[in-house]
Amino acid sequence: MSSITNVNGSEFKEVKSFNDNTQNQNQKQTLTGDAGNFEVKSYTMNSESAAVIESAIEGSSVVQKLVTNHFIVNDSFEMVEEDLSKNARWGSTTQENPAVRKYIKTHELFVQPKVTQKFISDLGAEAEEAILNKVAESFARAQNNAYITGSGAECPRGFLTYNASEVEQISASALSANAFNDLIINIDEMFLEGASILMNPHTLQAVKSLTDASGRHIYQAPIGGEMASIYGVPVFTTNDMPFAGSVKAVIANFKKAYISVNSGNPVITMDALTEKPFVKYYAIKRVGGDVVNKDAIKLLSIA
């Protein structure tokens, strides 16, 4: 994973506490303790700072980087689910195209990192930057996992949670060159351009030894700035993909297959009251995700 981008805490603007008292919108409670004065305060990220955090998340989450990301103002994303590529017709326009509304609901994602009051006193602004970097890393890990295996209940729905009647599974008796060839040729040509293969790094280790009928390795290591590939299709790895299960790999045009949505900007609260001598940070954001085009994704299942 790429390193987390540093985020300067001074970029954040201060807003009212969660008590929702508008008269105290910009007030702070000052605490006096052995290590000095500490404040209870909440920050909501402005658009620029939120974009920096999201960039850091994308740099650490493989799936976040591959899928389409939307930033919305509501708690859910509404779209029309239709496949116009199969319903374009010549001549009469009397027959309507089937269309279904699809909603992608956002869910609360939070993390509560802690530091000591002395840590803050010693490092000052650098302490806040360190906390924000931890928050971004935690969010990235949680989102990456949810996009793959999330249940859809209080979290995004993962693309591996759909059954074989909804997302096609290409079955094979063993992990072989033929299995990957079948996987690739079964995705529609309109989705193949821009498609990627995703698997567990341990699965990739086994794939590196596979050869085709001519004795050539199907895996090509990255050379001269080109990406690693299998039969010319870029390949990515993440530990959130299963290794022991039957599904060994996914091929998808992730930009067309999956949408991630973020609602509003994250909020961070610093709490030095409830768990002394620790200072607890409460970071929260709203995130959703789901498959929006099942034809753009295929799973490789080994019996």
Q: What is the mean pLDDT of each run of 10 residues along the chain (303 residues)?
A: 42 37 37 46 76 87 96 92 69 69 95 89 82 90 97 97 96 97 96 97 97 96 92 97 95 97 89 85 94 96 93
Whether 200 contacts 243, CB under 8 Å: yes
Peptide bond into 113 cis (omega under 30): no
Cα–Cα–Cα angle for 106, 234, 82, rounded to 5 degrees: 45
- Token pair, residue 48, equals 């620029």
Determine the Cα–Cα distance for residues 276 and 260; give it in Å rounded to an integer: 37
Among 114, 115, 77, 84, residue whose Cα is nearest residue 99 = 84
Q: What's the confidence (pLDDT) of residue 259? A: 97
* Rounded Cα distance, 135 and 9, in Å: 12
Integer Cα distance of 152 and 166 in angstroms: 15
Please report the pLDDT score of residue 10 as a whole number: 42
Kindly report the backbone phi and psi dihedral angles of residue 273, in degrees, each rounded to the nearest multiple of 5, phi listed first: -100, -45
For residue 196, give the nearest of 15, 94, 62, 99 by alpha carbon: 62
Residue 80 pLDDT: 87
pLDDT computed for residue 83 by the predictor? 65
**pLDDT, position 93:** 66
Q: What is the pLDDT of residue 29?
A: 38
In this structure, what is the dihedral angle of CA atoms 65, 70, 76, 79, given to the nearest 10 degrees? Answer: -110
- At residue 131, the pLDDT reads 82
Question: What distances in angstroms separate CA 61 from CA 52, 129, 143, one per listed residue?
Answer: 14, 20, 7
Predicted pLDDT of residue 81: 78
Cα–Cα distance list, 180 to 62, 83, 126, 171, 209 (Å): 21, 26, 48, 10, 13
Quick one: pLDDT at residue 293? 93
Measured distance CA(102)–CA(159) in Å, rounded: 16
Maximum pairwise Cα distance, the chain: 81
Tell me what pLDDT residue 36 has: 45
302 C-beta neighbours (distance < 10 Å), count: 17
What pLDDT shows up at residue 176?
97
Sorted by where each starts, the structural domains of the chain and their CATH numbers stand as 9-82+99-156+259-292 (3.30.2400), 161-257+295-302 (3.30.2320.10)
pTM for the whole structure: 0.82
Give bridge partners of residue 251 from the DSSP assignment: 197, 298
Q: Which residues contact 140 (CB under 8 A, 6 or more apart)?
A: 1, 4, 56, 57, 58, 59, 60, 61, 64
